[in-house]
Structure 1
């Protein structure tokens, strides 16, 4: 065992922690933080082999403790408390978009001035929509989790294109944000989404929502009713007679997981009986424990009126009626769900042909029971999926190039000789603006129990940083408005991560391991820190909740800003190591030099044999080196 006392820097670090607490927070007794510090020292990173790797993180962590004292196309996973390793509800989300900027939204909660309103915008263009009055008080929202630990994610499906309400007043993002500001539970979020859509009209395509609170997880799918323009002679104005939306929400059984990825997945559901299934006309029964299905009362009748469905009510399938499956929906969307399910549930091979678009009749279940409990780390790994280990692995076909790049630039489909071809669409993709995994934990009060693990840019090359629901602000490098998709800011998280990922894309197989080392260094540290932060925050919360929020703010802000600093260091390292297609030899991040200590030791990585053979097959003797002529020229 390593003797903890033999590391003076660690002892100094913990002394700083204790002195800071003792000097600036008299409400915290020294014994409580002594236990906190000892708990940290017992972690795996407190070892000589890892100490120097973590030294800057340690200093940053010490700083946050000191500061605490004074003062679209997307892939979503849903994990119920009974299916998670720590009993938390978890959902994930990725804002995949070619125009989206990665930033951490923050909505301050509390009392609102009379006349305050929420301005809805269409996320696809920023077109202003309805102004919606706010209640007297709202909840604080960090990203997509509120102080009550209600979290919402989404993925868009198109469905019947004629159902887009061109006169609608709120889009899917507005529904999410308003619900988070006003909903104390997942069920209330469903109710609010339904009510807002009915009152203001739904200005979006079809949408799947992941909605979680500390006790349960729901999937909700919604689509508009189109624009049926009528004229009111009395008011002398036109209106949409079909304003609103049709939708269904189902509670994921505890112990199970679900997922959605840009295609509607809810099929049949129990019809309203006032017990396990209710409609939006029975919201008075919303919080009855046995309720597990909620839906718009006209979801079936409207489909009949539009001639989408003519069967018995019991056979009505939301997905089949409002978003019929086709090859693209399977291959580009359901394949991402299948790829996650197969990692944790036996028997998913039977659905491979469905997921790949070859057999559209063998639909996957909406939820599955995993053979093991899932953690935040598991969901992060799933977010980095590019069908590796399957016959469809993006690194294994010629499109990956000689350096095994698991990305394909858009467009997704392309025409050649009158035929349409495509590139795989995987969970990990270059155009992600931001992504997250949320935890809603019933054993903690809201500000501590809610965590959004937030990252920007490509999920495969990002780092997920824990942001607590109780923080008072976002880190500067992540905050909304710090740079934009049209404004480069050199220390903004989005631009720093894009800078590194684009450098790695150039020779992916050579560089990705260097990125993985730093990625693991940070994410493993954060996962080790969180239990200790939880404990310390709870001790503070029991004495003064406001001090606990200060403490959590300093932690999350410090870790966020440090992550960007560490990623900038990684960029500089990669630039030096791989300059001009060479590789400079190094050991543990230190570059080796010749015997005189002046110049680096440089290697020239060769192209893989299959790539060289491809060149010869395509060019014949164009690049053949002719030995005889070379000898004659020498003479």
Structure 2
């Protein structure tokens, strides 16, 4: 049986330093499946272990630990992300950099560095992009932002079932708690798909270094998208809620910094 949503994680290539992602809308595929793919090339030394985080229920008032972003082995040591990352003799547990309120119930999902797919068939692919604003992680010198793209994808996989819900949740959390990219100065992209829709999600730090600017665009039916370390959304019309979502202040910030025309771009 062909699954309604397909995620393909391509092989790690040590000779490259880039990530490419693509998304296929339902009516663009031969069998009516949405497709999401991601080549996680990194710097060639990424921790490539795959883990499954089981579904869980949480006590009222619980907090969800937020962990730092580490690419190389071991990327994480502890039990928060499944049995794969349980400590070996002599390994110290990874310490959280902060917390946010937990939800009552969370979905099970597969992850590598980023979330891959949850039990609802919500799937993720990633690619880093350049950005114009910088923020650093809480716990580092001058760090003010709590969430990186890895944990944003984990939180979405844990909490929602649709691509539309996922991009909205990730954007809202980043605006509230702050976003930081790799080495502080980069932005990030995700392609997020469920069995019916595929969205492209862009995010970067904002000028305060304590929030985020984000945008998402639905991949039109009958079309595919590809992104390789460059933002690909060129115009955003937040009045067209079927196709676009985003942070309400994006146009104001763009105009203040000479990054847009005020006419949707």
Q: TM-score range by the shorter chain?
A: 0.7 to 0.9
The Cα offsets for residues 553-597 of structure 1, whole Å up to 9 and x where unpaired, read as xxxxxxxxxxxxxxxxxxxxxxxxxxxxxxxxxxxxxxxxxxxxx
Q: Does 1:306 align with 2:257?
A: yes
CA distance in 1, matches of 2:198, 2:227: 13
1:248 is matched with 215
Secondary structure of the structure 2 residue equivalent to 1:202: coil
CA distance in 2, matches of 1:73, 1:175: 20
CA distance in 1, matches of 2:27, 2:255: 38
Alpha-carbon offset, residue 315 of structure 1: 5.0
2:50 is matched with 104
1:198 is matched with 175
CA distance in 1, matches of 2:230, 2:110: 27
CA distance in 2, matches of 1:130, 1:158: 26
Matches within 5 A, 1:527-606: none
Q: Does 1:185 align with 2:137?
A: no
1:132 is matched with 100
Matches within 5 A, 1:163-242: 163-165=134-136, 166-204=143-181, 205-226=186-207, 228=208
2:127 is matched with 155
Matches within 5 A, 1:278-289: none
Alpha-carbon offset, residue 135 of structure 1: 0.6
Secondary structure of the structure 2 residue equivalent to 1:75: strand
CA distance in 1, matches of 2:96, 2:56: 25
TM-score, length basis structure 1: 0.32
CA distance in 2, matches of 1:121, 1:170: 8
Tell me the number of residue pairs that the alignment of Structure 1 and Structure 2 aligns. Answer: 213
- Bigger proportion of residues as strand: 2
Match of 1:90 among 8, 14, 35: 35
The Cα offsets for residues 508-554 of structure 1, whole Å up to 9 and x where unpaired, read as xxxxxxxxxxxxxxxxxxxxxxxxxxxxxxxxxxxxxxxxxxxxxxx
- 8 Å CA contact retained: 1:118, 1:178: no
RMSD (CA atoms): 2.1
CA distance in 2, matches of 1:86, 1:193: 30
Runs in 1 of length 4+ with deviation above 4 angstroms? 124-128
- Bigger proportion of residues as helix: 1
In structure 2, runs of 5+ residues without a counterpart are 2-16, 76-94, 137-142
Secondary structure of the structure 2 residue equivalent to 1:314: coil
Q: Which has the higher contact order (CA 8 A, sep 6+)?
A: 2
Secondary structure of the structure 2 residue equivalent to 1:121: coil
Alpha-carbon offset, residue 195 of structure 1: 1.3
Secondary structure of the structure 1 residue equivalent to 2:97: strand
In structure 1, runs of 5+ residues without a counterpart are 1-35, 37-71, 229-241, 278-290, 317-635
Q: Which entry has the higher C-alpha Rg, 1 or 2?
A: 1
